[in-house]
Structure 1
Amino acid sequence: MEAYAAAPWRECWSCELALARITELLENPGAVAVGAYQGKNLIGIAIGLPHTSAVGRTLYVAELAVVPAFQRRGVGKKLIAFVDAKAFEIGFRSVWLISQGDGTLVKFYLSNGFRQSERLRVYSRTCSAAAPE
């Protein structure tokens, strides 16, 4: 929760919602998860989910977070390396994620071998109770 409260996300997760999110991800068959620890304290996580498309089996990194006090110390880089190696071992073709389109995260992902898609964008809408007729 602390990792998302700081810049650039500035999201305020309740313990209840954070637990629901992590549980939701980990209950997916084939989920790949790793935690980074400083002693007994969890300081980072990465969770990937299988995704099959026309290009083959890929791993969608649904969560990658490092506590702010441990950012810029190689923790995120190690989490990505672990997830990538595990994905390769399992037989996935690539790993991918959705993140901000600009700012420091872009530099981080590009420096770790990710490329920005020129074709894809994220679209969302608020759910409504009205069913189509």
Structure 2
Amino acid sequence: MEFKQYIAQDLEKCTTTFIDVFNAEPWNDEWTVENATRYLMDFTNTPGFFGLVACEQEDLIGFIFGVRRAWWSGDEFFIHEMCVTPNHQHSGIGSALLNELIQALQPFAIQNITLLTDRGIPAEAFYKKNSFEEIERIVFLSKDI
């Protein structure tokens, strides 16, 4: 397995991976190629964007997209999306991607990594297993309009 920094030519493979992951259990989303591409491009076009991809030979098997941003206690990295192809999940690739991300962020003096995820799905357990902690004072709110 090889890790490399995301480049624009990776977008199509990242989109396919994203759809394969999030249109399946437990999310059961209904992403199309068009809206998933637009969604991921919103991240890649954001100032401070940084992405890593995991590859096996020519196959993209996972990625992390996020953004470096200023925070009062020091710069942080916010993970917007992370996924590993379904047939490669539970094999250590996600943890390896996180470890590679930590190494890649060292030159930027990042103080912490943050993210949002759904409660009660495998991602919650995965992040907690990888030393992420809930912040009790944070409440995520939403309103349909």
Same fold per TM (> 0.5)?
yes
- Which gives a bigger RCO, structure 1 or 2 (Cα 8 Å, sep 6+)? 2
- Alpha-carbon deviations, 1:44-87, whole Å to 9, x = none? 11011122222221000001011111100111111111222222
Question: Hey, what does 1:120 align to over in structure 2?
Answer: 138
What is the aligned-residue RMSD (CA, Å)? Answer: 1.5
TM-score (normalizing by structure 1): 0.87
Question: Hey, what does 1:29 align to over in structure 2?
Answer: 47
Q: Secondary structure at the match of 1:53?
A: coil
Q: Measure, in 1, the Cα distance between the counterparts of 2:119 and 2:109.
A: 29
Unmatched 5+ stretches in structure 2: 1-18
Question: Hey, what does 2:21 align to over in structure 1?
Answer: 3
Of 83-92 and 16-25, the range deviating more from structure 2: 83-92
Q: Measure, in 2, the Cα distance between the counterparts of 1:121 and 1:51.
A: 20
Amino acid at match of 2:116: I
Shift of 1:120: 0.7
> Which of 42, 54, 66 does residue 72 from structure 2 map onto?
54
Correspondence 1:1-133 to 2 at 5 A: 1-127=19-145
Number of equivalences: 127
Q: Measure, in 2, the Cα distance between the counterparts of 1:89 and 1:22.
A: 25
Between structures 1 and 2, the one with greater helix share: 2
Q: Measure, in 1, the Cα distance between the counterparts of 2:34 and 2:28.
A: 18
TM-score (normalizing by structure 2): 0.80
Q: Measure, in 1, the Cα distance between the counterparts of 2:26 and 2:72.
A: 33
Q: Measure, in 1, the Cα distance between the counterparts of 2:34 and 2:123.
A: 27
- Alpha-carbon deviations, 1:17-52, whole Å to 9, x = none? 111122111112221101112222211110111222
Unmatched 5+ stretches in structure 1: 128-133
Larger radius of gyration: 1
Q: Answer yes or no: is the 8 Å Cα contact 1:32–1:86 preserved in 2.
A: no
